[in-house]
Structure formats: structure tokens, C-alpha cells
Amino acid sequence: MASFRFRCTECNAEYGEDPARLVCSVCAGTQQRGGPVRGALEVVLDGLPDAWPDAVPDSHRFLTDFLPVSDATALPPLPVGNTPLLTVPALREHLGLPHLWVKDDTRNPSGSTKDRASLLVVAKAREYGLETVATASTGNAATALAAVGAAAGIRAVVFVPASAPQAKLVQLLSYGATVFRVDGTYDDAFDLCLDACSEFGWYNRNTGLNPFTVEGKKTAALEISAACVSEHIDVVLVPTGDGVILSGVAKGFADLTRAGLIVGPPRLIAVQPDSSAAIAHAIQDGADAVTPVLGAHSIADSLTVETPRNAIRCLRDIRTSGGSAVTVSDRQIVDAIPRLARSTGVFAEPAAAAVLAGLEVALGQGLVERGERIVLLVTGSGLKDVASAAKAIETPEPIPASLAAVAARLDRGA
Ligand SMILES: Cc1ncc(COP(=O)(O)O)c(C=O)c1O
Ligand SMILES: [Zn+2]
């Protein structure tokens, strides 16, 4: 068990573990409804491992050594994480980037990186003897909570925008979650979940608010470094909405740096849709705070956020890493889905394919050098939003069941 404390990301006040505490008591006093989370707490682990474990894959040992849980048995019985870091030769060749990898997080049990956060939050809920965990979500965090909750025997209550893609809703309901489809935005769902948790006493997994969401997502960075022990990674591109995945990745590299297992963190580049880009705009403008994007909308529903709740920490983490942020259009996102699939074998939802479009923008802007070691974090499966993927492909007309028809189609260059 790694013992730990909480430290406020704004004023550095420290707190011991307390299931009822999610934010700093001092800074939370400045919280505005609908605004970025104030006084978010960071997990500070005492006694980080000082060597890489011998075997990383297919055991939770690696994770538990770096996580604030008592032992491997506290983790719900689902194989979250340990996803492959693919060498993607065709994409390397196509882009002229000899040191490019794809971290394929579509392979998580519910199909997204969000499983990493939910695994840890549900493990802590079990440890605390809590029976219900609630979250607001654009879809994937809710699905992840529902999946991990189902495996652990914990009730999941979720608040999603009524417009969430059908596949995510079907997944949620199949896992048995209590689902509230909110007539409003993700931001509305976030606030409603806050109110419901205080009213009904549920443990709140809201991303960026619950400190274990960042802590759980850091495992993506641990695995990237473990897979490249002898190679320094220069840049990681992260699709960004609330900015919690990015802060999780930053936390993983920060812990590894503190432990002396890597020389320092890579630059982190946030990728946002140009119509939902509060964090990217703040980075590009050198601003200290985000300006909400009212009416934010994008085909990348998972990145559609008016006010990124983890904005304060995410801006800090991008800047500390020496990184930056880029924006991409919906057209670039849709086009990236089949291009990623055809050159890597990874079928991604719009939010996740956005990192490929973002890489090309970053190359064009000179934010990434061709010889650098670059990782694209591909965060969610294309099966979650087939309708969006269909916008970039042409469905062939049916043919008669004859060889002649096959030959005729081939002649036409099919
Ligand atoms: C597939 C996928 N990618 C990226 C993100 C963005 O993560 P964050 O909101 O932590 O920035 C999400 C969030 O829902 C997601 O589901
Ligand atoms: Zn504080």
C-alpha cells in the first residue's frame, strides 16, 4: 500500500484521507456554480517505487505500487489498462515520423480511457464501504463507471446529456446503471450530479472533482513509460475536454520523475475541437483562466464542454510540461477516423481520432519535430459512435450474388 496525503492544487494545503472530502476547504469557498473546480486535490504518494516492476502486463501489481489503494484485491475484477503501445509502421511511413506510437486505449473493457479513473474511484468506494457512486458524463465516464460498478457490485447513477450517442446509452443501460438523460448540456449534467450527490449522499465521481479521477488516469503514462523504459518520450498528444485525462497523464509522468524512473516529463499537447476549445484558447492567449465557450458543439461529443472543470490544473500541467494546445475542425476529426483506422488498425471515436488531426496541425505549426518520440493517446472506440464514422466513408451498393458482379465492381476500381 502506498500511503498518501491530499494536497490542494491551488494553495498547497494538505489533508489526510477522508471519504467525505473531495476539495480543499479553503479554496472551495471561491467556487462558482458552473465554473472550473476550485481547490482540486492531488494525491501525494509517500514511498513511490524506485525500480520498474519485473512484469508489467496482465497483473495489477504494477498499478497498485503506484496507486493509493491497499492491495490488488481492492481493485474491481476487470482488466482495465495495460493497453498496447503500438508501433504503427504504416502511419510512421505516411507521416514521415520514425518514432511515433499509438497508445490504444480503445481496448479498455468499456472501450475508453475513462475505465482507468472509474477503476480507482470504485476501488476507493469499496474501501470506504459506500454503495452508490454517481457521475456526470458526456457518455464514456458514465459507461466506465457502469461497467466497473457492475463488476464490483457497486450501484452506478449517471447523468448524461440527452443527446449522448445511442451506443453509449445502450452500453450504460446494459450494464444496469441508473441513467438520467438530462435535457441540457454536459455542464448542466455536472451541476445536477453535484446537487444529487449532496441530496442523496452518493459518492461523486465527477471528473476533475473526485481526486481519484486524475490519479486513475495517470496509469496511461505509467504504461507508456514502462513500455519505453530505455527511451525518453518527447511529446504526448491528448484529446481534451475537461482536461482530466491530460492532468492524469501529467501526474503519471510527474510521479515517475519524482521516483527517478524517467528523466522528466514529455511535452503534453492538448487537442480540442475548434468549436469547444476553452483550454486551447487560454493556452494560445497566454491567459491564466479559461473563458467558457457558451454553446460549445462538436462531432467529438466527448470533448464538448462549455467550461472545462479541470481547467486550472490542466493549464498548469500543459505549461509545466513545456507543452501547448491545438484545435481541429469537425471535418478534420471525421477525416481522421478512417485514416487512423487504415494506417494502424485502431478504430476510434471522433474525440480519440482528433489526436491524429491534432498531430498534423502541431507538425504544421512547428510544435513537434519530425525526429521526436511522439505518442498519440487514442482514448475511445469507434464502436461508440458509428454514425459519426459513417460520415467519412461510402457504403457500397449491394451487388447480385455473382462473380460477374464482383469482377464488374473491381473493374470500376472498388
Ligand atoms: C474518448 C474520450 N477522449 C477524451 C476525452 C476528454 O477527457 P477530459 O474531459 O478529461 O479532457 C473524453 C471525455 O469524455 C473521452 O470520452
Ligand atoms: Zn486550497
Strand, helix or coil at 109? coil
- C-alpha–C-alpha distance, residues 94 and 73, integer Å: 44
Distance from the alpha carbon of residue 277 to the mean position of ligand 2, in angstroms: 26
pLDDT above 70 for 77? yes
Distance from the alpha carbon of residue 223 to the mean position of ligand 2, in angstroms: 30
pLDDT in tens, 350-379: 999 999 999 999 999 999 999 999 999 999
Distance from the alpha carbon of residue 302 to the mean position of ligand 1, in angstroms: 5
**Contact status, residue 276 vs residue 298, Cβ threshold 8 Å:** yes
- In the numeric block, the cell 457521475 is attached to 135
pTM, two decimal places = 0.96
Q: Containing H/E element for 272?
A: strand 267-273
Query: Ligand 1 pocket test: which of 83, 102, 140, 249 has the largest number of ligand atoms within 8 Å of its C-beta?
Result: 140
Average pLDDT, the chain: 94
**Ligand 1 atom at minimum distance from 380 CA:** 1
In the structure, what pLDDT confidence band is assigned to residue 58 with cuts at 50, 70 and 90?
low
Q: Which ligand is located closest to the Cα atom of residue 30?
A: 2
Q: 100-104 and 85-86: which strand pairing?
A: antiparallel
Exposed (0-12), middle (13-18) or buried (19+): which is 218, by Cβ within 10 Å?
buried
Distance from the alpha carbon of residue 295 to the mean position of ligand 1, in angstroms: 18
- CATH of 85-109+214-390, picked from 3.10.100.10, 3.20.20.450, 1.10.260.40, 3.40.50.1100, is 3.40.50.1100
Ligand 1, atom 15, lies closest to the CA of 302
Residues 259, 261, 267: CA angle, nearest 5 degrees:
100
Which residues form the pocket of ligand 1, taking CB atoms under 6 Å from any ligand atom? 112, 114, 138, 140-141, 207, 239-246, 302-303, 349, 351-352, 379-380
**Ligand 1 atom at minimum distance from 141 CA:** 14
Ligand 1, atom 10, lies closest to the CA of 244
Q: Average pLDDT for residues 117-123, to the nearest whole number?
A: 97
Q: Average pLDDT for residues 25-51, to the nearest whole number?
A: 93
- C-alpha–C-alpha distance, residues 208 and 11, integer Å: 17
Q: Average pLDDT for residues 268-288, to the nearest whole number?
A: 97
Distance from the alpha carbon of residue 236 to the mean position of ligand 1, in angstroms: 15
In the structure, what pLDDT confidence band is assigned to residue 60 with cuts at 50, 70 and 90?
low
pLDDT in tens, 193-234: 999 999 999 999 999 999 999 999 999 999 999 998 778 999
